[in-house]
Structure 1
Amino acid sequence: MAAALALPAAPANAASSDPPEWTQPRPPLHLLGPITYVGTRGLGAYLIRTSAGAILVDATMAENVPAIERNIRSLGLKLSDVKLILVSHAHFDHVGGLERMRHDTGARVLAGSGDVAALRSGTPPGETSYGVHRFPAVTRVSPVADGEQVRLGDVTLRAVATPGHTPGCTSWTMRVVDHGRAREVVFAGSMTVAGNRLIGNRRYPAIVRDYRATFDRIERLHADVVLPMHPEAADVFARARVGTLVAPRLLGDMARAARVDFERTLREEKR
């Protein structure tokens, strides 16, 4: 199950054990530039306004779609103004509501190429300790390659492949002008193990290699602002409240913490 970056693995054995904040609505929160948080208290969904409509990063769980849609409308937008939906990774807590959101908005869905088959089938990739949590299949989804640029109006995002948590886990980067300063923003894909089987994962044999490559890459990736798919992983709400969203060392620190947790889990599986 998905958890963001250095966040400890969340309960994943049944929907009833999911953290309650995953489905607790909250009002929209403007973060910086064209970016507004429209997700729940525990699952990130980010709306980016452009000159040609809006981009939504993640749709979260199926139960959350009505609340996210209310948040979008409360900003003075129609659902049809959402033209693109970008996916972080194919786990139910981040894509369970994706097909409904795609249908309601008419938006084009873009995801890392390694997760497209999972999205189309509704079956998450890889093997886990908690079994299979299916989600509604996404009938229309287009793959994006590592480094591919996605443009809508005056906004450009770049896909950064960060596999391991899933084969197609993707982080998205963009540049934002905030109070006259250019800031590099990273919508960070997950790096946690969170129940993934590391040894003998027949459906994802390259999982260990991919995790390690992602840690290396994320440690080198510059981010002035980190916006993860679980907001508490970067204290998004607290940082926004006190004006400390700009934290250039944060992403590297999160990657190093995730690497330590990964290596510990790997050693335990080998015993």
Structure 2
Amino acid sequence: MTTPYTITRVGDAYLVSTHHVNWVLVEDGHDLTLIDGGYPGNVVDVERSVREIGHQMGDIRAILLTHAHVDHLGGAARIAAAHGIDAYTGAVEVPHARRDYLQQLSPAQIPFVLWRRGAVGWVLDITRLGGTDRTGLAQVESYDAARLDLPGAPVAVPTPGHTDGHTAYAIPGSGVLVSGDAVITGHAVSRLHGPQLIVRPFSHDRGATTDALDVIAEVDAGTLFPGHGSVWTGSMRDAAAQAAATAGFWRP
């Protein structure tokens, strides 16, 4: 089963957007870096998107994770195993990715979001995509440099809060910030559009998530590639300010 998606290219970076989650491909000649990988059920979609931009799975030199929630790690873990691709994330996030512990909305916490508009359909959709899967990625390692020696020369931007080890990635040559869930631009359970914080129950530490906006504001980029929602163009200072204004948002 496949999921519809759109691909937006900015420089050598490609945002692949589905209704519920995104991933990013960064091109450097014949080589690629994959950032995140969607849900377990998105594996065929990731593979299809790689082919659609003119590459093969063997061109992926590494996978970077913004964080280890199932909608970002699930597909990436299966791709890493199937194709023998190395995976990396921040040192603090490594044990989370290996499932030494889990900082993720549990089934018992689902009622905290079910009252929101669109939530029932969201639950049904993500269950189909493998959203209840708790499998980790045993072979993930930490990146050990601010500028990673990977296609596209991504730069790690530590943005803890959504998870303790959340990392965004700047792609300097393309003027793009891959923000993961530190800043999103839309979600099935949010009626907001544009830069925003993800709804409160999805983040482990809401205060730290808000504080991380100060880090995002300093990134020199003109395009935001979020973990959820569509591409956004503008300064990261403006994106952070707009997201900060949603920090207290809680009405359906």
Number of residues of Structure 1 aligned to a counterpart in Structure 2: 215
- Would you say the 8 A contact 2:69–2:104 is kept in 1? no
Question: Which amino acid in the other structure matches residue 62 of structure 1?
Answer: P
Confirm or deny that 1:229 pairs with 2:227: yes
What is the CA-CA distance between 1:26 and the residue it aligns to?
2.5
In structure 1, the gaps of 5 or more residues are 1-22, 177-182, 199-203, 237-244
For the Cα contact (< 8 Å) 2:43–2:78, is it kept in 1?
yes
For the residue of structure 1 that corresponds to 2:4, the secondary structure is coil
Give the RMSD, CA atoms, in angstroms.
2.9
Question: Which has the higher mean CA deviation after the structures are superposed, 101-110 or 117-126?
Answer: 117-126
2:35 to 57, 61, 77: 57
Q: Secondary structure at the match of 2:246?
A: helix
Q: Does 1:91 align with 2:69?
A: yes
Please give the TM-score of this superposition, normalised by the length of structure 1. 0.68
Which amino acid counterpart does residue 70 of structure 2 have in structure 1? F
Distance 1:141 1:253, change over 3 A: same
Any idea what the Cα deviations from partners look like across 1:231-255, whole Å, max 9, x if unmatched?
33xxx2xxxxxxxx6x333x33332
- Please identify the structure whose Cα radius of gyration is greater: 1
Q: 1:66 aligns with which of 44, 47, 55?
A: 44
Equivalent residues in 2 for 1:33-182, closer than 5 Å = 33-51=11-29, 53-121=31-99, 123-125=101-103, 129-130=109-110, 133-144=132-143, 148-152=146-150, 155-176=152-173
Output the amino acid matched with 2:139: R
Aligned to 1:262: 247
Identity %: 24
Conserved in 2, the CA contact under 8 Å of 1:44 and 1:229? yes
Shift in Å at residue 152 of structure 1?
A: 2.6
After TM superposition, the score normalised by the length of structure 2 is: 0.73
Summarize the Cα distance change of 1:218–1:109 in structure 2 as closer, same or farther, 3 Å threshold. Answer: same
Distance (whole Å) between structure 1 residues aligned to residue 88 and residue 226 of structure 2: 18
Q: Which blocks of at least 5 consecutive residues in structure 2 are unaligned?
A: 112-130, 183-196
Contact 1:82 1:107 in 2 (8 A): yes
| Shift in CA distance, 37/248, structure 1 to aligned 2, threshold 3 Å | closer
Shift of 1:81: 1.4
State the SS of the aligned residue for 1:121.
Answer: coil
Q: Aligned to 2:177, what secondary structure does the other structure show? A: strand
